[in-house]
Amino acid sequence: MPKDIRTLCSQHAKEMIYAKYALIRTNKQEKETCDKCKRVGWEYELIKSKRK
């Protein structure tokens, strides 16, 4: 299964956590443009959480 890697700003990262995803930050050291908006953010690997 391929990894789900996305660049997310802090607001969209919080939304993914509320949607029950676990976010693991990658080793990339510089911030880039968020995949959902124009703000800067970090690159994360998304994993669907098993919590309810």
Helix (H, G, I), strand (E, B) or coil at 36: coil
**What ranges in 1-52 are assigned the alpha helix state H?**
10-18
Residue 31's SS3 state is coil
Number of structural domains found in the chain: 1
Residue 51 clears pLDDT 80, i.e. is over it: no
What residues make up the domain containing 32?
Answer: 4-48
pLDDT tier, 1 (very low <50, low <70, confident <90, very high otherwise): low
Average pLDDT on 48-52 reads: 77
Q: For the segment 3-49, what is each residue's pLDDT rounded down to a tens digit? A: 999 999 999 999 999 999 999 999 999 999 999 999 999 999 999 98
User: Considering the entire predicted model, what is its pTM?
Assistant: 0.84
